[in-house]
């Protein structure tokens, strides 16, 4: 395994950890200021959200590479199915891929959406997801973009992600069989799954992302109360061992939605704490 105490260049910031402050919330830092703050601390990459990029993808991507903190991922494709999916899924999916390409971000994360109207259970919805992904994969491949299916904690299965396990994500990967289709492993969503070690081994080179935070034992909001690494009950070292054991050597992306705690702090402090925890407990 990599020794993060001596080399933390694998550390990547997902800007959600700063409360999407680029939108005018929080400290209101610009994308460039966030990039520079990451560069000053030796972060190795950054992941933005589409709404933070707008029409400036090429410029932001250039700035990031120039600072030595390349954009390693983009959040995210539209919901593909379920109550929160847009009407024009395909148009929006293409736009997300185009933005990733303009940023020269290698990975576009996909949160698939919930249960399709008029259906029960997740089976029909997962088929719809597979169809959308099969259509998008060659479009993305032609633009140098990988697609990462992210299973979400089952608490979101109704509205945000009928895809809840690494097993189901890999089943879609197997069915679609596109070389640029893989999975993103987020400890928040999969930490409870005793089948995870087996699925990570099955995934092999199809792990396109590894997301870090922690699950607080007494979490009071399943959307916006994620914990800093080390403050919760997820076995971060075991999950990392499984991810790296499968061959993953890419970015470790810290993504902490925390409306009541970390989002209220100075972004500089948050970046410092993330770095310290990354070196100490991940």
Interface positions with its own copies (CB under 8 A)? 82-83, 114-115, 119-123, 126, 153-155, 157-159, 162, 164-165, 167-168, 171, 191-195, 215-219, 222, 232-238
Comparison of 102 and 183: residue with beta carbon closer to its own copies: 183
Beta-carbon count within 10 A of 134 CB? 15
Min dist CB 275 to its own copies, Å, is 21
Element (H, E) at 11: strand 11-14
Token digits of residue 243: 């991810």
Comparison of 121 and 179: residue with beta carbon closer to its own copies: 121
Min dist CB 239 to its own copies, Å, is 8
User: Is residue 269 within 8 Å of 26, Cβ to Cβ?
Assistant: no
Among residues 149, 218, 250, the alpha carbon closest in space to that of 190 is found at 149
Min dist CB 39 to its own copies, Å, is 32
User: Is residue 126 within 8 Å of 91, Cβ to Cβ?
Assistant: no
Query: Residues 6 or more apart from 218 whose CB is under 8 A from it?
Result: none
Comparison of 58 and 259: residue with beta carbon closer to its own copies: 259
- Counting every residue, how long is the chain? 282
Comparison of 100 and 122: residue with beta carbon closer to its own copies: 122
Comparison of 158 and 204: residue with beta carbon closer to its own copies: 158
Min dist CB 121 to its own copies, Å, is 3
Min dist CB 191 to its own copies, Å, is 7
Comparison of 67 and 224: residue with beta carbon closer to its own copies: 224
SS3 content of the chain, % helix, strand, coil (to 5): 45, 15, 40
Min dist CB 184 to its own copies, Å, is 18
Comparison of 47 and 234: residue with beta carbon closer to its own copies: 234
**Dist CA 145 CA 75 (whole Å):** 13
Min dist CB 226 to its own copies, Å, is 12
**Dist CA 18 CA 14 (whole Å):** 8
Query: Residues 6 or more apart from 128 whose CB is under 8 A from it?
Result: 80, 81, 116
**Dist CA 155 CA 203 (whole Å):** 23
Quick one: residue 85, left, alpha or beta (phi over 0 = left, psi -120 to 50 = alpha)? beta
Min dist CB 198 to its own copies, Å, is 11
Comparison of 123 and 144: residue with beta carbon closer to its own copies: 123
Is residue 76 reached through a cis peptide bond, with omega within 30 degrees of 0 on the bond before it? yes
């Amino acid at each position: 395994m990599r020794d993060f105490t001596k080399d933390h260049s694998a550390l990547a910031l997902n800007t959600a950890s700063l409360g999407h402050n680029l939108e005018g919330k929080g400290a209101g830092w610009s994308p460039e200021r966030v990039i520079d703050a990451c560069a000053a601390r030796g972060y190795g990459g950054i992941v933005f959200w589409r709404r933070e990029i707008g029409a400036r993808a090429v410029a932001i991507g250039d700035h990031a590479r120039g600072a030595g903190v390349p954009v390693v991922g983009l959040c995210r494709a539209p919901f593909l199915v379920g109550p929160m999916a847009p009407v024009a899924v395909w148009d929006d999916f293409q736009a997300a891929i185009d933005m990733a390409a303009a940023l020269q971000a290698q990975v576009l994360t996909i949160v698939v959406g919930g249960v399709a109207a008029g259906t029960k259970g997740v089976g029909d919805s997962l088929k719809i997801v597979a169809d959308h992904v099969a259509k998008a994969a060659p479009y993305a491949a032609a633009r140098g973009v990988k697609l990462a299916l992210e299973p979400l904690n089952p608490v979101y299965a109704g509205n945000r992600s009928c895809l809840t396990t690494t097993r189901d994500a890999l089943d879609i990967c197997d069915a679609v069989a596109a070389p640029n289709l893989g999975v993103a492993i987020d400890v928040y969503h999969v930490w409870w799954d005793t089948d995870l070690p087996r699925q990570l081994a099955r995934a092999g080179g199809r792990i396109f992302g590894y997301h870090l935070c922690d699950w607080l034992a007494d979490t009071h909001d399943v959307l916006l109360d994620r914990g800093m690494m080390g403050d919760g009950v997820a076995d971060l070292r075991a999950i990392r061992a499984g991810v790296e054991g499968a061959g993953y050597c890419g970015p470790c992306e810290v993504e902490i939605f925390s409306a009541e705690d970390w989002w209220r702090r100075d972004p500089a402090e948050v970046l410092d704490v993330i770095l310290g925890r990354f070196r100490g407990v991940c």
